[in-house]
Structure 1
Amino acid sequence: MSYAGFLAALRAEGLTVVEVKTNGKSPASHNRNSKGPFGPVHGVLLHHTVTKGSANTVETCRKGYEGLPGPLCHGVITKDGRVHVVGYGRANHAGLGDDDVLQAVINEKPIPADNEANTDGNRHFYGFECENLGDNKDPWPAAQVDAMVRAATALLRAHGWNKDGKEAISVIAHAEWQPGKVDPRGPGYPGHAGIRARVAERLKHPASWSADAPSKPSTPQTPPKEDGMPSAKEIAEAVMAYKIDDPRTSGTKYVEVKDVLWWAGADSAQANTKVKDLEKQVKNLTDLVTQLTKTKEK
Structure 2
Amino acid sequence: MAEPLPVTEFIKALKNEGVEVVEYKTTWRTHNRGKRGDGWGPVQGVMLHHTVTRGETPEEVKRSVQLCWDGYDNLPGPLCHGVIAPDGKVYLVGYGRANHAGLGDDDVLRAVINETKIPADNEANTDGNARYYGFECINLGDGKDTWPPEQIDAMVRVSAAILRAHGWNKNGEGFISVIAHEEWQPGKVDPRGPGYPGHNAVRALVAERLKHPASWTPGAPTAPSTYTVKAGDTLGEIAERFHTTVAKLAALNKTLIKDPDDIQPGWKIKLK
Q: Which has the larger radius of gyration?
A: 1
Structure 2 match to 1:137: 144
Structure 2 match to 1:200: 207
Structure 2 match to 1:61: 68
Structure 1 match to 2:18: 14
Whether contact under 8 Å (2:115, 2:171) holds in the other structure is: no
Structure 2 match to 1:51: 53
Mind listing any 5+ residue stretches in structure 2 that lack a counterpart? 55-59, 221-272
Residue identity matched to 1:96: L
Q: Which has a greater percent of helix?
A: 1
Alpha-carbon distance, 1:26 to partner:
2.4
SS at match of 1:33: coil
SS at match of 1:51: coil
Alpha-carbon distance, 1:31 to partner:
0.2
Alpha-carbon distance, 1:48 to partner:
0.3
The separation in 1 between residues aligned to 2:20 and 2:137, in whole angstroms, is 15
Alpha-carbon distance, 1:38 to partner:
0.3
Structure 2 match to 1:288: none
SS at match of 1:172: strand
The separation in 1 between residues aligned to 2:18 and 2:162, in whole angstroms, is 13
How many equivalent residue pairs? 210
Structure 1 match to 2:44: 42
Query: Following superposition of structure 1 onto structure 2, how do residues 195-274 of structure 1 map, counting pairs within 5 Å?
Result: 195-212=202-219
**1:105-144 superposed Cα distances (whole Å, 9 cap, x missing partner):** 0000010000000000000000000000010110000000
Is 1:5 the counterpart of 2:12? The answer is no
Alpha-carbon distance, 1:65 to partner:
1.3
SS at match of 1:152: helix
SS at match of 2:46: strand
Query: Following superposition of structure 1 onto structure 2, how do residues 21-100 of structure 1 map, counting pairs within 5 Å?
Result: 21=25, 25-36=26-37, 37-52=39-54, 53-100=60-107
Whether contact under 8 Å (1:168, 1:199) holds in the other structure is: no
Residue identity matched to 1:12: N
Q: Among all aligned residue pairs of Structure 1 and Structure 2, give the percentage whose two residues are the same amino acid.
A: 67
Whether contact under 8 Å (1:62, 1:72) holds in the other structure is: yes
Normalised by the size of structure 1, how large is the TM-score? 0.69
The separation in 2 between residues aligned to 1:20 and 1:187, in whole angstroms, is 28
Whether contact under 8 Å (1:149, 1:198) holds in the other structure is: yes
Alpha-carbon distance, 1:166 to partner:
1.6
Alpha-carbon distance, 1:210 to partner:
1.4
Alpha-carbon distance, 1:212 to partner:
2.2
Structure 2 match to 1:149: 156
Mind listing any 5+ residue stretches in structure 1 that lack a counterpart? 214-298
Alpha-carbon distance, 1:20 to partner:
1.4
The separation in 2 between residues aligned to 1:166 and 1:48, in whole angstroms, is 25
The separation in 2 between residues aligned to 1:196 and 1:62, in whole angstroms, is 27
SS at match of 1:166: helix
Whether contact under 8 Å (1:17, 1:85) holds in the other structure is: yes
* Moved segments of 4+, more than 3 Å: none
